[in-house]
Amino acid sequence: MMDQINLGLVGGGTVGGGVWQALQRNGDLMAARLGLRLNVVRMAVRDPKRSRGFTVPASVLTGDWSEVVHDPKVQVVVELMGGVTTAREVVRAALKLGKPVVTANKALLSAHGPELFALAAKHGTNLYYEAAVAGGIPIIKALRESFAGNRITRIAGIVNGTCNYILTRMKLEGAEFSEVLADAQRLGYAEAEPSLDVDGHDAAHKIGILASLAHGFWVRPETIHTEGIRHISKLDIQFAGQLGYTIKLLGIIQPIASPASAAAKKTKKGATDGQASGIQVSVYPALVPNTHVLASVNHAFNAVAVRGDTVGDTLFYGRGAGQDPTASSVLGDLADAALDLRAGNHHRVPPFVTHNGQGKVASMDTIASRFYVRLDVSDRPGVFARIATVLARAKIGISSIIQPEGHTGETVPVILMLDAASNLAVRKALTAIGRLPVVKSNPVMLRVENLD
């Protein structure tokens, strides 16, 4: 008789339901591939009486997660309930029993990752989290295993399906932010609390996990510079398009050269990774050139571009949110968990290893980039000169300045494209520009990322 691994699911919503249905569909195929069968013996949900669009035997369903975790038949616990409070209790309880846990919960890992990974190690078991980052894309496995022989020199990614879906529809259809957010919720992309998506926190949770894996020190969420997409207007999407760019919510992880190593590079004395003054770990909407592949990643698709010193450039693309893609990553983790259990090796690949005790996140103020700025100004002579004077004093170059045709009234938009400058310098200059009497509303500032 074929070996069987018994699973206990905590959560039977979008992702949990996807896992249940995918196992019904592809359970035989997985059994043939793995040589063992994955069998859901318990599933906890908040309301066992609720109709779910799929049938789970009453003997399997419960409203009490601890029945699932403590059921002696359950060998692997799958946490798909979301949130950070009860979910933490669920995961802690399972790990303490030495049961491997599979989770899709990036908020939980971001808030309590070090504690949970330490608990898994202490109890000789493992925590698998492929579905926590970029939905169906196997980026965790790639970073943790396939790129083990690389120093990661840059990760740039679109890792929030909801924001990408909203920005895509705003660009392609000229739709309003609020109209498309409702659709993202209906399609199962958005978090239960959609501000996690649109304010950039979900992307920051994921980018923090990737940064921790890539650079070997735990990146605390509060150190990640995070901006969302609420303030992105149709007007900025339209102007960016006219300039040859697409606005995307980008996560960026890259070592920032220290001033000493940058100077050494300029004088060709050579600079090394070891001289980085910190790692940029940030999430913000940015203008991406239309010629760059990330500009063409649309709707709920995600893409993560990873550059390693040995491999060079790689690109991972796929559906970043939704029932089936996320279930696919959970099933991949379940295959690993089951095979690890059968081999009696609970941590063939440790979930997360601190390999760089010295790492730190660089302050956003010190990071330089190019900038797009939109100002709402009085339509009268001398305005450009006043703005240019402030920028000149701050030693910030202007690469182009446009007053688009067709805008009339007391105020008109002016678009500035700025040369590379530090975030601190640009922030200070825009504060001064915002105080000019000819500038009628707060300047809109977006970074331009060429991703060369």
CA 317 vs CA 132, 170, 323, 364: distances in Å: 15, 21, 17, 27
Region binding ligand NAP by CB under 6 A among candidate stretches 79-87, 214-222, 251-259, 359-367: 79-87
Neighbours of 347 (CB within 10 A): 14
Annotated catalytic, 96? Answer: no
End-to-end, the C-alpha distance of the chain in Å comes to 55
* Minimum distance of ligand NAP from residue 105's CB (angstroms): 4
β-bridge partners, 448: 287, 370
SS3 296: helix
- How many CA atoms within 13 Å lie on the side-chain side of 295? 18
How far apart are CB 23 and ligand NAP at their closest, in Å?
Answer: 15
- In what helix (H) or strand (E) does residue 248 lie, and over which residues does it extend? strand 245-257
Residues 313-352 within binding reach of ligand NAP (CB under 6 A): 321-322, 326
Of 11 and 157, the one with the shorter C-beta distance to ligand NAP is 11
Selection from ligand HSE, ligand NAP, none that 162 binds (CB < 5 to 8 A by kind) is ligand HSE
Helix, strand, or coil (residue 380): coil
Q: Assess 302 for contact with ligand NAP (CB under 6 A).
A: no
Q: Considering beta carbons, is residue 11 or 161 the nearer one to ligand HSE?
A: 161
Shortest reach from residue 324's CB to ligand NAP, in Å? 10
If we measure between CA atoms, which residue out of 205, 133, 154, 158 comes closest to residue 303?
Answer: 158
14 binds, among ligand NAP, ligand HSE, none (CB under 5 to 8 A by kind): ligand NAP
Query: Which of residues 131 and 253 has its CB atom nearest to ligand NAP in the complex?
Result: 131
In the complex, what is the shortest distance from the CB of residue 134 to ligand HSE, in angstroms, rounded to a whole number?
7
Task: Find the catalytic residue in 99, 106, 206, 248.
Answer: 206
Asked if 293 interacts with ligand NAP (CB under 6 A), we say: no
CB of residue 285 to ligand HSE, shortest distance in Å = 15
Closer residue to ligand NAP, CB minimum distance, 9 or 417: 9
Q: What distance separates the 2 farthest-apart alpha carbons in the chain? A: 86
Which is closer to ligand HSE, CB of 186 or CB of 268? 186
Query: For the packed helices 177-186 and 161-173, what is the interaxial angle rounded to 10 degrees?
Result: 130
Nearest to 137 by CA among 272, 389, 318: 318
Q: Of 118-157, which residues contact ligand NAP (CB under 6 A)?
A: 131, 135
- Residue whose C-beta lies closest to ligand NAP: 13
> In the bound complex, what is the minimum distance in angstroms from residue 293's beta carbon to ligand NAP?
23
Torsion angle in degrees (nearest 10) through CA of 168, 171, 172, 175: 90
Pair of tokens at residue 335: 């295959």
Cα→Cα distances 50→23, 55, 60, 188, 250, Å: 21, 11, 14, 17, 38
Residues in the chain, how many?
452
Contact partner at residue 82 from ligand NAP, ligand HSE, none, CB < 5 to 8 Å by partner kind: ligand NAP
Contact 226, 198 (CB under 8 A): no
- 412 is written with which tokens? 């008109």
Least Cβ distance, residue 334 to ligand NAP (angstroms): 14
Separation CA 368–CA 423 (nearest Å) = 6
By CB under 6 A, which span of 38-46, 141-149, 233-241, 308-316 interacts with ligand NAP?
38-46
**Residue 132 to residue 109: CA distance in whole angstroms:** 8
Measured from the CB atom, the residue of 65 and 371 that comes closer to ligand NAP is 65
Q: Name the one range near ligand NAP by CB under 6 A: 44-52, 288-296, 416-424, 443-451.
A: 44-52
Interface with ligand NAP includes 105 (CB under 6 A)?
Answer: yes
* Secondary structure (3-state) at 152: strand
Where on the chain is the footprint of ligand HSE (CB under 6 A)?
Answer: 135, 160-162, 189-191, 197, 202, 320-321
Q: Which is nearer to ligand NAP, 197 or 449 (CB)?
A: 197
| Residue 197 interacts with, from ligand HSE, ligand NAP, none (CB under 5-8 Å by kind) | ligand HSE
Q: ∠ at Cα 186 (181, 188), nearest 5°?
A: 100
List residues binding ligand NAP (CB under 6 A): 10-16, 44-47, 50, 65, 80-82, 86, 104-105, 131, 135, 188-189, 191-192, 321-322, 326
Catalytic residues: 206
